[in-house]
């Protein structure tokens, strides 16, 4: 949300009018502001095609999609299909690892032999993300009922975050050690 105005109104942020972008910000079917699809088949490939069709219907003859999280997978797929209107993609979660390396890191297997020192570091970081950084993804898949607390109350939201990821747990723990973290206090008041 913070980048919309600088991109659409760069003059207000020290830029030039020629730096302005038109933005179309769709949400994925069933997510955000979109309703639940009425038919099956809305996989990543289908959504990628729908976004290309949307941009054409809006009159854009050239565009660059940006995506993160599941949106990153969608824009990757748009790049794979490479429609003529697509100038490129921007993603903050690129699918850069070969499938066998990704699968090994996800399983917790030791680094495959033959990796360069830089590749071994990348493998270890990927493995760390899978083990410590995406617990929320596993939680959504394995214990989705625990997510009800997010919408229930501020206390429910605070209770969710320790299970979300290691960094959130660390920040919330600081509050219980007498330190402040933004407006949060131990009394949650």
Spans of the chain below 70 pLDDT: 135-136, 146, 162-165, 181-189
Q: How far is CA 143 from CA 20, 81, 105, 135, 172, in A?
A: 43, 35, 23, 11, 21
Q: Based on the structure, what is the number of domains in the chain?
A: 2
Half-sphere exposure for 21 (CA within 13 Å, toward CB) = 13
Q: Is residue 52 part of a domain?
A: yes
Residue 48: give the domain boundaries.
4-91
Q: Is residue 183 part of a domain?
A: no
Each residue's pLDDT tens digit, 83-127: 999 999 999 888 788 888 989 998 999 999 999 999 999 999 999
Q: Is residue 182 part of a domain?
A: no
Question: φ and ψ at 67, to 5 degrees?
Answer: -150, 150
Residue 78 shares a structural domain with residue 31: yes
d(C-alpha 89, C-alpha 64), whole Å: 5
Query: What is the model's pTM?
Result: 0.63
Residue 58 shares a structural domain with residue 107: no
Question: Of 73, 91, 109, which marks where a domain is finished?
Answer: 91
Q: Is residue 187 part of a domain?
A: no
């Amino acid at each position: 949300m913070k980048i919309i105005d600088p991109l659409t109104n760069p003059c207000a942020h020290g830029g030039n009018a020629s730096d302005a972008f038109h933005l179309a910000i769709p949400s994925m079917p069933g997510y955000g502001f979109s309703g639940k699809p009425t038919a099956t088949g809305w996989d990543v490939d289908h959504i990628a095609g729908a976004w290309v069709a949307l941009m054409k219907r809006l009159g854009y003859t050239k565009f660059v999609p940006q995506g993160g999280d599941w949106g990153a997978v969608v824009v990757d797929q748009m790049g794979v299909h490479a429609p003529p209107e697509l100038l490129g993609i921007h993603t903050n979660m690129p699918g850069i690892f070969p499938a066998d390396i990704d699968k090994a890191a996800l399983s917790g297997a030791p680094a495959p032999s033959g990796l360069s020192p830089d590749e071994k570091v990348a493998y270890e970081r990927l493995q760390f993300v899978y083990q410590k950084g995406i617990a929320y993804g596993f939680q959504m898949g394995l214990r989705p009922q625990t997510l009800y607390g997010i919408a229930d109350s501020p206390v429910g939201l605070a209770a969710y975050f320790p299970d979300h990821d290691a960094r959130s747990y660390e920040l919330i723990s600081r509050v219980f050690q007498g330190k402040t973290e933004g407006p949060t206090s131990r009394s949650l008041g």
